[in-house]
Amino acid sequence: MRILRGSNAPAVLATIVPIVRGWAAYYRGVVSKRIFATLDSHMWRLTYKWAKYSHANKPKTWITRRYFGRFNPARADRWVFGDRASGAHLPRFAWTKIVRHQLVPGRASPDDPALAQYWADRRRKAPPPLDRTTLRPIRTQGGRCPLCGDTLLYADREPNCPREWEQWLTGIRKAISRHNLAATPNPDKPDDARIRLVHSACQRRSNTGATRRNGTSEHLHSR
C-alpha cells in the first residue's frame, strides 16, 4: 500500500484484490474466522491510511464517504473499500468461507494413485472460493473440459500457496469472462446458449479442426 501512494483507487484495487483473494483461498483451510476478521481490520487501516495520504487536506468524513461504502450488495457491510466509479472493491477475508479438512499426510502427492480418493474427497469437501455464477458452469460440466474430458479445475494439483491461488483465481476469472464475451454455442446443442468452459489449448485445437473441415485454412498452411 505504501508503494501505491500516489496511484488512484482502480490501480490500488487491481494490485491488492488478487493478492487478498489468493491469501484468503489458501488460508481458508487452516485459519479461524477470528484471524480473517483481524486481517480485515488490518486491510481497513491500510486502505484508510492510503486514502488519507492521497487527500491530506480532506476531513475524515469526506475520505470515508469517498472510498468506503456498501460496495457488495450481498453483504451488509458499510466499510468496504472501493471505487465508486466502477463499483470495484476490496473483498473481505471474512467473505471467504472457512473450510475444514484433514491435513495432507506428509509428502502426499496428488499424483499418487493410492491417494486419488483422498484428493477426490478433499476437492469435493472444499470447492474453490468462487462465486456461484462462476462455479455453475464448472459444476454442470462435472469439473471437466467437454473437449478432452480432462479436469478443468486444477491441471495436476490444487494450488498450494497464496501466489498460486492468486494466479489460478485470476486465470479462471479471465477464462470465464472471455467465454461470456465469445458466447461460443455448444455445437452438439446449438440452441443451448450456456457458457461452456474448455481448456484454451483444446479450444484452439477445435477451432483449427473446424477451419480445416470448412476448407478455408489453406492460407494457414502457406506460412
Give yes or no for residue 197 binding Zn ion (CB under 5 A). Answer: no
Q: Are 109 and 115 in contact (CB under 8 A)?
A: yes
Give yes or no for residue 145 binding Zn ion (CB under 5 A). Answer: yes
Give min distance, CB of 137 to Zn ion, in A: 14
Question: Which window, 80-88, 93-101, 196-204, 208-216, contacts Zn ion (CB under 5 A)?
Answer: 196-204
HEC readout, the chain:
CCCCCCCCHHHHHHHHHHHHHHHHHHHCCCCCHHHHHHHHHHHHHHHHHHHHHHCCCCCHHHHHHHHEECCCCCCCCCCEEECCCCCCECCCHHHCCCCCCCCCCCCCCCCCHHHHHHHHHHHHHCCCCCCHHHHHHHHHCCCECCCCCCECCCCCCCCCCHHHHHHHHHHHHHHHHHHHHHCCCCCCCCCCCCCCCCCHHHHHHHHHHHHHHCCCCHHHHCC
Question: Which window, 46-54, 137-145, 168-176, 187-195, contacts Zn ion (CB under 5 A)?
Answer: 137-145
Give min distance, CB of 149 to Zn ion, in A: 7
Question: Which window, 33-41, 90-98, 146-154, 178-186, contacts Zn ion (CB under 5 A)?
Answer: 146-154
Give yes or no for residue 196 binding Zn ion (CB under 5 A). Answer: no
Question: What does the alpha-carbon distance between residue 22 and residue 164 come to, in Å, rounded to a whole number?
Answer: 7
Give yes or no for residue 199 binding Zn ion (CB under 5 A). Answer: yes
Q: Which of residues 37-56 bind Zn ion (CB under 5 A)?
A: none
Give yes or no for residue 92 binding Zn ion (CB under 5 A). Answer: no
Give min distance, CB of 147 to Zn ion, in A: 5
Any idea how long the chain is? 223
Give yes or no for residue 148 binding Zn ion (CB under 5 A). Answer: yes
User: What residues are paired with 89 via a beta bridge?
Assistant: 82
Q: Are 94 and 37 in contact (CB under 8 A)?
A: yes
108, 115, 135, 147: residue in contact with Zn ion (rule CB under 5 A): 147
Give yes or no for residue 153 binding Zn ion (CB under 5 A). Answer: no
Question: Which window, 53-61, 78-86, 98-106, 140-148, contacts Zn ion (CB under 5 A)?
Answer: 140-148
One-letter amino acid at 8 equals N
Question: Which window, 32-40, 115-123, 188-196, 200-208, contacts Zn ion (CB under 5 A)?
Answer: 200-208
Closer residue to Zn ion, CB minimum distance, 13 or 145: 145
31, 202, 206, 217: residue in contact with Zn ion (rule CB under 5 A): 202
Give min distance, CB of 148 to Zn ion, in A: 3
Given the rule CB under 5 A, which residues bind Zn ion?
Answer: 145, 147-148, 199, 202
